Amino acid sequence: MEYGRVPGREGRYVELKYFWRPDGSNGLTKEELLNGLNNLLNNFLYGLVCPKLVTPEVWSEASRKAAVFKGREIEIQIQLGPLSKRILDPRLRVGFTRNYENSLLRALVRESHELILLYCEQTDQFRIYEAEPWFQFARILRNIVSHKEGGILREWPKSLLANGIISVAWRDRTFDTTMVGTALIFYPPEGLELLKDQIDFVASKLS
């Protein structure tokens, strides 16, 4: 894989922004927001499905090779043996797969909320998003996966405490103040369901 930074140069260009524009402008359109949310969905599905399409034989062959990343000035080679071992060894595969899928889920729930929040702030529609009955659930879930090691409800939002709100809900899931300091579980299918609700919200309620 080749990576570069100069426009017009052959190779891959990695931007940390959600959306890249040649003129460097900022601001999202509703269409871009929906495309961004669908990109998150596709990334999540790609990450979950594609590893299952690679046969053990392919990984066994790859274990003797290296992945090469070519930048502008340096070339990085990473041996694939350790990765292949984690995939091929049944004793290591379960933990490796769980960690990998957790990272995909964290990215999904964090970035979906952040994208909608960004658009609503830019278009002065935050109050519409905040009024959704599951907004605070998505907000707290984003906080859980974003801070420290992730997965732990470290503190209850002060703004909710000030208003006497000690629990938030989405569908049949609930977070409440008794869970502070504990590890919470959120499954990949739930992540997909939440994203569907977010996409439906953007499509039907935002302008």
Write 38-46 long-range contacts (CB < 8 A, 24+). 38/199, 40/107, 40/108, 40/111, 40/112, 40/115, 40/195, 41/108, 41/192, 41/195, 41/199, 43/104, 43/107, 43/108, 44/104, 44/105, 44/107, 44/108, 44/188, 44/191, 44/192, 44/195
pLDDT digits (tens, 9 = 90+) for 3-43: 555 455 455 545 555 555 555 556 789 999 999 999 999 99
What is the model's pTM? 0.86
Q: What rounded mean pLDDT belongs to the chain?
A: 90
Contact 92, 81 (CB under 8 A): no
Contact 185, 194 (CB under 8 A): no
**What is the pLDDT at residue 23?**
55
Give the whole-number percent of the chain exceeding pLDDT 90.
80
Give the pLDDT band (50/70/90) at residue 154: very high
Contact 134, 170 (CB under 8 A): yes
pLDDT digits (tens, 9 = 90+) for 76-113: 999 999 999 999 999 999 999 999 999 999 999 999 99
Residue 191 and residue 45: Cα distance in Å, rounded? 11
Tokens linked to 134: 């599951």
* Mean pLDDT value of segment 31-59: 96
Distances (CA, A) of 184 to 62, 92, 106, 111: 36, 24, 12, 19
